[in-house]
Structures are given as C-alpha cells and as structure tokens.
Structure 1
C-alpha cells in the first residue's frame, strides 16, 4: 500500500466541498486528476469512501472513519514542511572541555533567548573526542582547542585564547625570577594527552624547558585548579578557565620568560557535511 499525501488531500477536499468539480478548483487540479486520486485511494483501501448519489458524493461510514486521521496526517506533513522552511533543525555541537565549560554557556544563553524552543544538543569531551565525533557524523559541528590534522575535516580559525602559567599563592616560584630552569624543576599538573590544551602546552611551553617533571595528569581543568591551589604543583590553562581564581587571589599567575602564550581555538565540520541555514545561524552566534 502506498497512500500519498496528495490522495489524502484530495479526499479531504472532496469531503468538504461535496464534489470533484469544486475540489479540483480548490486544489488547482483537473477534475480527472481529482477523480483518479480518489479512485486510487479507494482501490488501495479496498472500500468506497463516498456513496455516489447522482452527481453528488456523500461521505459514508468508511469516509467518516478516515477523515480525522487524514486531517491529522496532513497537519503533521505541514508541520514538517514548516519546520525546515524556517530552518529549525536539531543542531548537535561537541566542544572540548575548556570551550564547553567556559565559553559556550554564554553563547548558548544568547541563542536560547532568541530561539528558546529549538533543539540543541551539546556534548563536552577532549579535542580528540570532538574530532572523532565530527569524523563519524555523530555531531554537526565541533569546537576544539588545538589544530586538527584529519584530511576529511575542515578547520576554521575561531577565537584567540591566552594560556597562563599559575601556582598557589604560597609557591616558592613567587620569590625571585621565574627561570626556565626553575620551571623545569617544579612538578607540573597537566591535562591528559588527547586534550587540545595539553597539545599546545607541550608545543608552546614544555618544549622550551631543559627538562620536565610531570607531577600528575588530570582529566579536567577543575581538578587541576584544585590540585594547584593545594600546592601539589604548577600548571598552564586558559586565562578564561582561571580568571575568577586570579581575581580572588586563590591562584597566582607566574610571569614566565617566554613570549605571550596564545593559541587559536578552531571550529570544525566534516568536509562532506551540509551546512544548513540553521547551523550557519548558530555559528554566527559563536562569533564573540
């Protein structure tokens, strides 16, 4: 059975108007097309929907049973058309942890104020998790903290981010000059491998140290902040992540003898991903 929306539309209009002639005028179809659609529908259902009384069509018990269901189906089809005509598709975003926890909440809040009912799914992981999800089409767009080298992914520069080396207020590194040698001797508390922050810290900072003392690796920035605050070592994270702690004095920035540590945050999508108007609109809200 292959009932079409057109057949249901013809049936509903014939019922309302009482004749194929008037239905054809309302639907801008020929009378023969209306009659054929109605005959095909009755043939597929195996019943007559109207009693033929002269030139009039009078709905019978089968037609009365079908009518509310036909209207509901046509209304749902209209809702589907309207849904995509207004670009109200379900957007799936995957962000690395610094972005997801400290940058996206403000963006999503602005987006939600303008589009409170539109579906938006946000996942947070490390940068490699994001890249894998974009590669597998499990999400529509990814936001990561480091470069992406996958050939199937298009990476666009998004935001500049500053990294800060920091310690607890009682750290011995706060007395005297902070040299590369002293930084090398200190225990470092860093994000896990696969994290975009870790990749950039390895490249911009740790590669300049004569040696490197790993204190521990932790899977999220909040754990790192607490570990550093309790004097377990020093670390390097985005200024956005530790801004409140720097302002309150619970963490202290170390002035390292290196150029300003900056990185680019990236917006990524699969090379074969269709960028809908809804997705492009969300991307515009990300421009801060």
Structure 2
C-alpha cells in the first residue's frame, strides 16, 4: 500500500466541498487529477469512500471512518513541516560532571526562558563517557574538562576555568605558605581516572610533587567536598564547584607554591556531525 499525504489531502477537500470541481479549484489542480487521485486511493483501500449521487459525491461509512484519521495525519505532517522550517530539532548534550552540575544549569535556564518547549536531552558523566557518547553519535555535542585527542572528534576551546586546592578550615595547610613536600605528605582525595578534572590535576599539580599520598578516589565532586570538610584529606577541584563553601567558610583554599592552576573547558563534536542551526543557537546560550 502506498497511500500518499496528497491523496489524503484531496480526499478531505472533496469531502468538505462535496465535488471534485470545487476541490480542484481549492487545491489548484485539474479536476481530472483530483478524480484520478481519489480513484487511486479508493483502489488501494479496496472500498468506495463516496456514493455518487448525480454529479454530487456523498461521503459513505467508509469515508466517515477515514476522515478523522486522514485529518490527524495531515495535521501531524504540518507540525513536522513547521518544526523543521523553524529549525527546532531535539538537541542531545553530554556534559562532564563539573560542567553538567555547575556550568550548564545557568546556560539551560537562559535557553529555557526563550525556548521553553523545545526538546533538550542532557546527560552527565565524566569526560571519557562524554567522548564515547560523541564517538557513537548518541549525542550531538559534548562539553568536557580536558582536551580530546581522538582524530574523529573536533575539539573547540570553550571556557576558562580555575582549579583550587582546598582543605578543611582546621587544616594547617590553609594557614600559611605551603611547601611541595607538605602537599605530597597530605592525604589526597581525587576524582576517578577518566575524569577531566583528574587528568588536569595530575598534570598541573600532582606532577610537581616529589610523590603524593592517595587517600581516596571518588566519582562525585559532592562526595569529595564532604570528605574534605570532615578532615579526611585535601583535594583540588574547579573553583566553580567549591565557591559556595569557600564563601561560607566550610572549606578553605590552600595557597599553592605554584603558578595559577587554569584549564580550558572544551566543546567537542564528531568530525562527521552536521552542526544544525538549532544546535549552534543552543551553543550561543552556553557561551553566555
């Protein structure tokens, strides 16, 4: 069966007007084209949709059964046309945990104020999971905390982010100048491997220590903050993650004998991924 939307459109117009002549005028088609389309539709369905009464067409029980379903299909087709004319496709984003929890919510709030009803799917995990989702085309865009070196992925610098070493306010490390040896002797509570934050902390901070004492690896920044607050060790996370606790005095920054720990947050997409107008519009909201 190969019923077309055009056939259904002609059927509904004939039913409303009661004749092929008036329907052809409304649809800007010849009367023979309207009659042929209607005949073809009836042939495919194997039933008559109208009773021929003189020159008039009177809808019968088969036509009455088809009419509301035909209207529904035509309305959905119009919705689809409008959807893509306005470039309002669904957007799928995978963000690493720091970005997903502490950066993206403000961007989504700005986006939702202007586009409250457009579909948006956001997944949050670590940077490695975001990269794999982009590689598998499970998402349109990834937002991660470290560079991606996969040749199938395009990486674009996005935002700058500061990292902060911190401890409980009672820790002697927050009181004054700290040496690398003191940092190395402290019990460190770090994000899990595969996390963008962990990769950068390893490179910018831990690589400068003669050694370091690993206390725990945790897959959640909130868990790390609570562990540090209770005096279980020290850590290093994005300033965005601990800003509220620093201001409240429940966590304290460790003054490091190192240059400022600054990293770039990255936007990634598959090299073969088409960046639609809808996606680029969403990314403008992410740029603030």
TM over 0.5: yes
Distance 1:19 1:252, change over 3 A: same
Report the secondary structure of 2:154's partner residue: strand
User: How many residues are matched?
Assistant: 288
Task: Give CA deviations for 1:255-274 in whole Å, capped at 9, x if unaligned.
Answer: 11111110000111111222
CA distance in 2, matches of 1:174, 1:136: 44
Where does structure 1 lack aligned partners over 5 or more consecutive residues? Answer: none
**2:250 paired with 1:250:** yes
CA distance in 2, matches of 1:163, 1:176: 19
Match of residue 58 from structure 1: 58
Say whether the 8 Å CA contact 2:49–2:62 is kept in structure 1.
yes
Alpha carbon RMSD of aligned pairs, Å? 1.2
Match of residue 237 from structure 1: 237
Match of residue 49 from structure 1: 49
Report the secondary structure of 2:161's partner residue: strand
Equivalence map 1:127-276=2 (5 Å): 127-276=127-276
Match of residue 83 from structure 1: 83
**2:25 paired with 1:25:** yes
Match of residue 5 from structure 2: 5
Report the secondary structure of 1:194's partner residue: coil
- Structure 1 residue 241: deviation in Å? 0.4
TM-score calculated relative to the size of structure 1: 0.96
Say whether the 8 Å CA contact 2:93–2:121 is kept in structure 1.
yes
Report the secondary structure of 2:160's partner residue: strand
CA distance in 2, matches of 1:82, 1:270: 28
TM-score calculated relative to the size of structure 2: 0.96
Where does structure 2 lack aligned partners over 5 or more consecutive residues? Answer: none
Equivalence map 1:47-126=2 (5 Å): 47-126=47-126
Report the secondary structure of 1:78's partner residue: helix
CA distance in 1, matches of 2:175, 2:69: 79
CA distance in 2, matches of 1:189, 1:149: 27
